[in-house]
Chains A and B, each alone.
Chain A
Amino acid sequence: MADAASTKTRAEVFGRREQGGMLGISKSSRYVAHAILILGVLIVAFPIYYTFTASTHSLQTILRPPLPLTPGDHFFKNYYDAIFGGVGRIGGVSVDLLLFNTTVMALGIAVGKILISILSAFAIVFFRFPGRMLFFWLIFITLMLPVEVRILPTYKVMVDLNLIDTYAGLVLPLIASATATLLFRQFFMTIPGELLEAARVDGAGPWRFFKDILMPLSKTNIAALFVIMFIYGWTQYLWPLLVTNRNDMNTIVIALRKMISFADADTQWHLVMVTSILAILPPVLVVVFMQRWFVKGLVETEK
């Protein structure tokens, strides 16, 4: 160990334990812990790696078991075919369009949910109006009504509004969020009343207060919710399945399912694998990118 000296000093300071630091974790148990963690990573990562491997082989190679464990030489061809060529079983729609559809939907849901919930929480916490608690409870009880429960009436409404096969139809029914409203409500309630009063004395109306003080203070919450809601939107299955009929309005998750035929020979497995990899990439990027932001927000406690 490079810092054996400091370890020793620490051991001397505490008067016991030769190694392992303050928590008193011995070397062997640390090895065991790492072994378990590495095993976990392997179990989670291997299927993804295998999917990636499969996405770089030709269909013939995939259909002739066993599938090699190392990437093949069809990487560029397969990805080019999928992104720009179109996939036969879903009406020749290319994967870039699917990615675009899904991104619109996921972004629409994430941004819409945050906007609506932060505004309704703002209204509920900072305004006194008749029926305030009634509205709060109305929002609250929708927690008990997930999409699956209200799917038929919602579908009917979408049909009546001519929103089938539109982005609005994909996004609108999913953007009301009781959870996010509650989250913002709880956060707003921790904001000291004096801050609101100081803003009032400083001549800030409700809108200025919201824009100049509440929004900046909610940065961390917004970032966290964005990550959660983006992934929620990205992985939606049931609702896009119902509300889209045209192949070019499909989300990537729906299209992926449609690409797979019961007859193995009909399925272009190499393109399915490419699509799978492309489908998991954006959420991973969102998490990786937003996580740094997230930690920054957590370290710089503003209150």
Chain B
Amino acid sequence: MATVELKDVRKVYGGKVEAVKGVSIDIPDGQMCVLVGPSGCGKSTLLRMIAGLEEITDGTVSIGGQVVNTFGPAERDIAMVFQNYALYPHMKVYDNMAYGLRNRGTPKDEIDRRVREAAGILGLEDFLERKPRELSGGQRQRVAMGRAIVRKPKAFLFDEPLSNLDAKLRGQMRIEIKSLQRSLGVTSVYVTHDQVEAMTLADTLVVMNSGVAEQIDTPLAIYEKPASVFVAGFIGSPAMNLLAGEIAENGRGVKLVGGAYLKPRDTVLPEVGRSVLLGVRPEHLTLVSDANNADFQLKVTTVETLGADTLAHGHPVDGDPKSSELIVRLSGDVQVRHGDVLPLAIDAGKAHMFDAGTGKRI
């Protein structure tokens, strides 16, 4: 158990391609930090640098207060869970878990005790004599976790460990990983491209985009106050509606590209004439009965019925269908049809303003 600290960590490939552009993260002892972002954003590279599988071009990685830049993966005392499990195919489950301990010269009875303990935690007692190929995907994932647990490392590193499982199993394993990490209290770094995984697992969430940590905060803070357009669009499903426009005169709110006006309540507007992106999450648009209380009228073009929710796609009646397209999340019992016009209000204080040029939050 230890803290993990990254300080201005950079990775440059072949002197040209900058995969990670100076990331600093402090992970307190026993916490779970999730790195999330689209493919190629540098999250895996960052994790591999923490693991020691990738050289650090610049900056420092410390584990437990000690700079480990020059240490090999084994000396860093970390354990890693890989995307494709990376189990040794010719070894039994028992040997897979024991291998790392054997290489460290742990006494035989200690190895046996730890492997059986980990197998107990993960419900693998009956599979210890089997080979990985005789196991299902979920069981293999457990073995990979077991291999990490037996080592009692300073930190766990997870590299998209659930992406090869089917949706149902993924949800189940997600909860297992969370409770396991809690009960073991081991500092963890978890890489994923799945924002649901990211939101549910993280104590600290790091949203990465093209080598930069766009925002580092608790999952809820990131959901409520995304620091940039990228974070706003990445976290949340369906994605936040982002409408381009500029601040209109006479306090009329935001003049959208298509011509419609939108005036969010309880939101401080920047100076008149500034080009902005107005962001509203689909769940923060409410259907109002009285058209006079509505902020705008939505002309519905497509309806997705999900059961619990209904997603209505459309655009403001007086707006351009293309540039001001948005999605509304309605309760499942609302009957909506293609072509309907819905009076909608933006929930007070739930609108986000981003600078159109920099994409940063205003």
Contacts and interface: CB of A to CB of B under 8 A. Distances in A.
9 contacts: A192-B84, A194-B84, A199-B88, A200-B73, A200-B74, A201-B53, A201-B79, A202-B100, A302-B133
Nearest to B95: A212
Contacts of B73: 197, 200-201
Contacts of A198: 80, 82, 86-88, 147
Nearest to A200: B73
A300 to B, nearest CB: 9
B82 A194 contact: yes
Given A192-B84, A194-B82, A213-B90, 6 more contacts: A200-B52, A201-B78, A201-B100, A203-B74, A213-B88, A216-B90
A303 B83 CA distance: 16
Contact of B80 (A197, A203, A212, A302): A197
B104 interface: yes
Which 8 residue pairs spanning A and B have beta carbons closest together?
Answer: A202-B100, A203-B74, A194-B86, A198-B86, A203-B103, A216-B90, A302-B89, A194-B82
Interface residues of A, number: 19
Given A201-B74, A302-B133, A208 B88 contact: no
Contacts of B79: 201
B72 A200 contact: yes
Contact of A202 (B74, B89, B133): B74
B51 interface: yes
Contacts of B87: 198
A63 interface: no
Interface residues of B, number: 23
B127 interface: no
A204 interface: yes
Contact of B51 (A199, A201, A204, A212): A201
Contacts of A203: 74, 100, 103-104
Contacts of B88: 195, 198-199, 212-213
A121 to B, nearest CB: 18
A197 B53 contact: yes
Given A198-B80, A302-B133, A204 B103 contact: yes
A201 B87 CA distance: 12
Mostly, the A contact residues are helix
Interface of B: 51-53, 72-74, 78-80, 82-84, 86-90, 99-100, 103-104, 133, 147
Nearest to B80: A201
A217 interface: yes
A216 B89 CA distance: 9
B90 A302 contact: yes
Contacts of B103: 202-204, 208
A202 B90 CA distance: 16
Contacts of B147: 198, 202
A200 B74 CA distance: 6
Contacts of B84: 192, 194
Interface string A266-303: 00000000000000000000000000000000000111
B80 to A, nearest CB: 5
B25 to A, nearest CB: 21
Nearest to A191: B89
A107 B80 CA distance: 42
A303 B88 CA distance: 9
B89 A217 contact: yes
Nearest to B72: A200
B72 A303 contact: no
Contacts of A202: 74, 99-100, 103, 147
Contacts of B83: 194
Contacts of A301: 133
Contacts of B86: 192, 194-195, 197-198
A192 B133 CA distance: 15
Contacts of B78: 201
Contacts of B53: 197, 200-201
A303 B89 CA distance: 6
Contacts of B104: 203
A67 to B, nearest CB: 53
Q: Could you say which of B51, B52, B78, B100 has the most chain A C-beta atoms within 10 Å of its C-beta?
A: B100
Nearest to B88: A213
- Most chain B CB atoms below 10 A, which of A198, A201, A202: A201
A210 to B, nearest CB: 13
The residue among B72, B82, B86 with the most chain A CB atoms within 10 A of its own CB is B86
B180 to A, nearest CB: 18
A217 B80 contact: no
A197 B89 CA distance: 14
A104 B52 CA distance: 47
Nearest to B51: A201
A212 B86 CA distance: 15
Contacts of A216: 90
Nearest to B48: A197
Interface in A171-195: 192, 194-195
Contacts of B133: 301-302
A208 B102 CA distance: 11
Contacts of B74: 200-204
A217 B90 contact: yes
Contacts of A217: 89-90
A31 to B, nearest CB: 41
Contacts of A199: 88, 99
A212 B80 CA distance: 19
A276 to B, nearest CB: 41
B89 A212 contact: no
A198 B52 CA distance: 12
Contacts of A192: 84, 86
B152 to A, nearest CB: 14
